Amino acid sequence: MLIDWLAIAPEIALTVTALLVLLADLNLRGQAKQLVAGVAAVGTVVALVFTLILWGDERSTFGGTFVVNEYAVVFKVLFLGSLLAILGISWRFFAEGRYFQGEYYFLLLTSFIGMIIMPSARDLLLLFVALETVSIPAFIMAGMRKRSLYSSEAAMKFFLIGVLSVALMLFGMSIVYGFTGTTYLPDIAASIAALGTVDPLLAAAIMLVIVGFGFKISAVPFHFWAPDTYSGSPLPVAAMLAVASKAAGFAGLLAIAFIAFEPVAELWAPVLGVIAIVTMTLGNLVALQQRDLIRLLAYSSVAQAGYMLIPFGLARSGAAQVNDAAVQAVLFYLIAYAVMNIGAFGVAIAVHRRTGMRSISDYAGLASKSPLMAMAMTTFLLSLGGAPPTVGLWAKFAIVQAALTDVTGFAILLMVFLVINSVIAFFYYLKVVKTMWMDSAPEGLPALQPGFNLSLVVFVLLVGTVLLGVLPGLVSDATSLTGLAVG
Amino acid sequence: MDPNTAGWALVVALFLPLVGAGALAMMPSSMDRQIRRAAVVITGVAFALVAVITASFDFSRSGELQFTTDASWISAIDARFELGMDGISLPLFFLTYLLTFLCAIYTTKHLPSPGKPKAFLALMLLLQTGMAGTFVAFDLVLFFIFWELVLVPMFFMIGMWGGPRRDYASVKFFLYTLFGSIFMLIAFLAIYFTAGANTWSIQALSEMAPFGSTTFQTWAFLGMFLGFAIKVPMWPFHTWLPDAHTEAPTVGSVLLAGVLLKMGTYGFVRIALPILPEGAVRFAPLIGVLAVIGIVYGALCCLAQTDVKRLIAFSSVGHMGFVMLGIAAMNEAGIQAALFGNIAHGIITGMLFFLAGSLHERYHTREIAVIGGGMLKKIPRYGVLLTYVAVASLGLPGLAGFWGEFTAMWAAISPGLGLADQYAGLYLGLVVFAAIGTVLTAGYFLWLLQRVNLGDPPERWVNEQLDDVMTIEWVTWLPLLLLILALGIFPVLVFGVQDAAVTNLMGYLGG
C-alpha cells in the first residue's frame, strides 16, 4: 500500500518534534532545559506550514481511512494555532513552577498529534486511536502538580471517567461493527441505510458511541469531571482541556454523526438536541454560583459545549443543506471559542501568577493596575457572551442561521433556549467585568507581570477576537464548506 | 458635496468618533485637561462634518437614499456594508452628533466621580458611533451590529460613573436590552430566509414586501416587537428605564433619552413596518393600547415621584407612548408625528436631564421635598430655564413638544390601512385616554414647578452659596433651548425633511 506522505506531513512533523523535545530534555541540564519550549514552538510552526500547503487539496491515504480535505485542514489549523497559543501561555508558568518541563511539552505535543489526526479519520479504529492519543497524555498532564492533592484528584477523576467513556464507546463500536461488518465510516452509513429498520440494539450502540464523545466534550450529564479537573490541573492544561481537547471531541463527533450515522439522524438528533438544552442551561445556572474564576470558566465551557451541540439537534438524514449549515456552524463556533477562551485563560494565568489565587474577587480593580489585561479579559468575556463587535456574536449568529435554514418546531425550541441562556450567561460574565472595572483594588498589590510570551498571545487573540468580530468573513469563508460526507 | 457621490463623507462622520476613541485611549491619563479638550475637538469636527452633510443634503429628494455606500462585507452570509440616509435618518443622525458634541463640552467642567475622563470620553465616542450607525445602516446585519454596539459603552457609563445603585441598574439595562435584541436577530434571520433573495438590504426587502404567510409575518413581527419595544421602552417593558436613567451620570442620561430610546422607534418605522406590513397591521391595535397605557401609567408614576431625575425618567415612558401611538395609527400623519415626537423628546428630555444633573450639583440632592422651592428666587435663571423646558415637555403650543403629541392624537382618530373600519371605536378610546394623559402630564410638571420653583427658599438653602447658570452650561444648553423654540414655531423644519421619505414608507405599507 502506497502512503501519501504529504498528506500526513503535519502529523509526522509534530511526532518528530515530540521526540526531539524528549531527547533534548534528557540531554540538557539546568536552565538549558527551557530550550525545549522553543523547539516545540518551532516544530508546531513547521507542522502548521505543512498543513497550510495542504489547503485546497483533496487527498486520502491508508485505504481511504485518512483523508485530507479543506474541512480537515481547517480543523488542523485550529488545533495547531491553539497549540502555539498554549505554548505561549505555558512557558512562564512551567518555567517558574519547577514542574517537569520536558515531559510537559512532550505530552502536550503528543496529545495534539491525536487531535490533528481526528478530523482526518474516517474509520472507527483510527478515531479511537486518535481519541486515546489525545486523552492519555492529558491524564498525566492534569496530575502534573504532583504536590497538590487537588491536581491528583483532578487527574484521577479525569482518568477514571475518561477510561469509562472510552470503554462504553468501544463497546458501542463493536456492536456497530457487528451490524454493519465494517469500520469505515462511509460504508457504515451505506450499511445502516440498507438495513432499513433500525434494530434497538444498533440504536443503543449508536447512543453508546455518542455518549463516549459526550464525556469528551463535557456535555451534561457527562460533564461533572470537568470543573474539578480544570480547577485542579495546571492552568495551561486546563486551557488545553477546555479548548483543544473539547474541539477534538467535536471533530470526532462530527465525523461519527454526520458521516457514519447520517442515515439515522432522526434517531440521534433529538437526543443531542435535548442534551444541548440541558447542557447549556445547567452549565449557565451553575456558573452563576461560582466564586472561583477557573470554575466559572469551566462551567461556562460546559454551557458553550451546549451551544455547539445545538446544530447537532438540527440534523436530518438526507437534508444536505441543513446538515452542511449545521457542520459549518459548529466549525465556526469552535474557532471562535478557541480564540476567546484561550485568551481568557491567558489572562487568568497572568493574574494567578501575581497572587497565586483565582477567586473572582482577586480581579477587583484589575483595570486600574493593568488596564490592557483588563481590557483583554473584558473583550474575551463579552465575546464568550456574544456581544458585538466580537467574534462570539458571529458564532451565535452561525448557530441561529443554521437553525433557520429550514425551520422546525424543535429548532425554534432550541433557539428559545439559546436566547434565554445567552442572557443568563451575560449575568456572570458581566459580574467578572464589573469586578475588574468597578471594584477598587486591594492595597499594595503590584501590577501584573505577565511576561512577553503571554502578553503576545493575549494580544494576538485580542486582535483576533475584535478583527473577526468586524470581518467574520476572514474565517467564515474558510468554514463555509459543504459535503463533509465526502469520504 | 454631492449627495449622490459623497458616500465617503458619511463613512468618515460615522467612524471619526471611533478613531477618536482610539486616539483618546492612547493619551496618558495624566493629561486630564487635554483629553477633555481633545474630545471636544473630535466631536466638534464630527458635528461640523455632519452639518456640512446636512447642508448639502438634497432636500428636494429627501425620500431617496443619499450619501450611499454599498460594499461587500461578509460574503458568506451576503451581508453588505450598506450606508445611506434619507429624510427619516437625517434629523436623528444630526441630533446624535449635536448631543454628543454638547455632552463633550459639558464634560470639560462636569464629570462625576471617579473622574477618569479618558475612559469616560472614549466610551462616549464609542457610543456615538454605535448610535449614529443605527440610523444610517441599511443592511439588517450591519444595523444589528450598531444596535448592539451601544450596549457595552452604556453599561460601563452607568456602572462606573453612576449613582448608588449603579450595579443593579447597569446589569438590568444590559440584560433587558440584550434579551430583546436576540429575538430581533432571530426575526431578521427569519426574514432573510423567508424572502429567499439572499439579501439583508432594508431597501430591497421593503420593496419585496409583503412576503411570507400571515403566520410568518405575525411571528417575525413579534420578534422585532420585543427588540424595539424594550428599547423604546413601551409599557410593560419599561422597567429598566427608570433605574438606568436615575443611576446614569448626566451625560449618560442625556444620551439615553436623547438618542438611545429613539433607536427603538426608528427601528419600528424603518424596519418592522415596511418589511412586515401585514404583521404591523395586526399588531397596530396592540401597540396603540400599550402606548396609551404607557402614557397614563407614566404620568401617574410621575405624580408619585419624589426624585426629580426619576420623575423625568418616568415622563419619558409617557412621551414615548405618544410616539408609539403615532406609529399605531399607521397613516402618514401618524408616522410623521412619531418621528417628530422622537426628535422633540430627544431635545427636550435631553435638556431636562442636563438640568437635573446641574440641580444635583448645586443642591447635592434631587429630592423635591429637600429642595423645597424658591429656586426662582435663589437661582432665578436656572428656575426660568427649568420652567421653559418643563412647559415644552408638557406640550405647550409654540414649543417643540406640542407638535408630536397633538399630531399623534389627531392621526390616531382616523387610523390608516383599514384599521379605521375594524377598530374605529378602539382608536377613539385611545385618543380620549391619551388626551387625559396630556392633562396629567401638565399636572405633574406644573406641580413639580410649584414645589421647586415657587415660594421662598427653605431655611437651609437661604445662606447657602448656590451658583446660577454658569457659562459652560449656557454654551451647552443654548443650542437645545433655541431648537425647542425653533421646532415649536417652524415644525416644518422636521416635518418637511421627513415628508417625502414618509410618503415612500407608506407606499411600502400599501397605504
Mean pLDDT of A458-475: 89
Q: Is the pLDDT of residue A458 over 80?
A: yes
Amino acid at A338: A
More confident residue, B250 or A32: B250
* Cis peptide preceding A221, ω within 30 of 0: yes
- pLDDT average, residue stretch A55-59: 85
The whole-number pLDDT of residue B83 equals 93
- Element (DSSP H or E) covering residue B322: helix B308-329
Q: Which of B170, B182, B193 sits opposite A422 (nearest CB)?
A: B182
Query: Between B149, B155, B179, which is nearest A389 by CB?
Result: B149
Residue A487 has pLDDT above 80, yes or no: no
pLDDT at B98 (0 to 100): 95
Of the listed ranges A289-293, A412-416, A473-477, B435-439, the least confidently predicted one is A473-477
More confident residue, A95 or A133: A133
Q: What pLDDT is stored for residue A465 in this prediction?
A: 92
Tell me how far CA of residue B354 lies from CA of B166, B312, B449, in angstroms.
Answer: 19, 11, 16
Of the pLDDT bands very low, low, confident and very high (cuts 50, 70, 90), residue A376 is: very high
Q: Number of folded domains in chain A?
A: 1
In a domain, A177, yes or no: no
Pick from A405, A437, A476: CB nearest B74: A476
Beta bridge partners of B201: B139
Q: In the prediction, which pLDDT does A486 show?
A: 39
Residue A447 counted as domain residue = yes
> What is the per-residue DSSP string for B368-436?
HHHH-S-HHHHSHHHHHHHHHHHHHHTT-TTSHHHHHHHHHHHHHHS-TTTHHHHHHHHHHHHHHHHHH
pLDDT in tens, A130-170: 999 999 999 999 988 888 888 899 999 999 988 988 999 99
**Residue of A423, A434, A472 lying closest to B159 (CB–CB):** A434
Question: Nearest-CA distance from A388 to chain B in Å?
Answer: 6
Q: Please report, for residues A36, A109, B252, the alpha-carbon distance to residue A100 in angstroms, rounded to integers and kept in the order given.
A: 11, 14, 53
User: Considering only CA atoms, which of A360, A357, A336 is closest in space to residue A428?
Assistant: A360
Q: Which residues of A fall within a CB distance of 8 Å from B75?
A: 473, 477
Range of the domain at A347: 265-487
Q: pLDDT by residue (tens digit) across B86-108? A: 999 999 999 999 999 999 999 99
The confidence band for A36, taking pLDDT boundaries of 50, 70 and 90, is confident
- Across all residues in chain A, what is the average pLDDT? 88
If pLDDT is split at 50, 70 and 90, which confidence band does A484 have? low
DSSP string, B262-317: HHHHHHIIIIIHHH-HHHHHHHHHHHHHHHHHHHHHHHHHHHH--BHHHHHHHHHH
Which residues make Cβ contacts (< 8 Å) with residue B37, sequence separation at least 6? Answer: B108
Cell of A159: 482518568
Within 8 A of B165 by CB-CB distance, chain A residues are: none
* Disruptive mutation site among B178, B194, B198, B240 for chain A (greatest number of A CBs within 10 Å): B178
Residue of A nearest to B148 (CA): A388
Q: What does the pLDDT look like over A382-395, one tens digit per residue?
A: 999 988 889 999 99
> Residue A98: what pLDDT?
64
A473 found inside a domain: yes
pLDDT at A439: 80
Quick one: pLDDT at residue B129? 94
CB contact under 8 A, B74 and A438: no
Which residue in this structure is represented by grid cell 451534561? A220
Residue A485 confidence class, pLDDT cut points 50, 70, 90:
very low
| Rounded Cα distance, B206 and A288, in Å | 42
* 8 Å CB contact of B76 and A477: yes
Asked if residue A420 is part of any domain, the answer here is yes
Judged by DSSP in three states, B82 sits in strand
Of A424-428, A443-447, B363-367, which range is least confident?
A: A443-447
Look at residue A179 and tell me if it is in a domain.
no
Q: Which residue of B has its CA nearest to A416?
A: B183
Q: What is the pLDDT of residue B510?
A: 75
The residues facing B79 across adjacent strands are B74
A121 has which bridge partners? A66
Residues 66 through 105 of chain B touching chain A, CB cutoff 8 Å: 73-77
Q: Looking at the complex, does the CB of residue B490 fall below 8 Å from at least one CB of chain A?
A: no
State whether A387 and B160 contact (CB < 8 Å). Answer: no
pLDDT at A144: 85
Q: How confident is the model at residue A99 (pLDDT cuts 50, 70, 90)?
A: low
Share of chain A above pLDDT 70, in %: 97
Give the pairing type, strands A66-68 and A59-61. Answer: antiparallel
Residue ranges in chain B modelled with pLDDT below 70 = 511
B416 compared with A207, residue with greater pLDDT: A207
pLDDT score at A483 = 56
- Alpha carbon distance B107, B117 (integer Å): 8
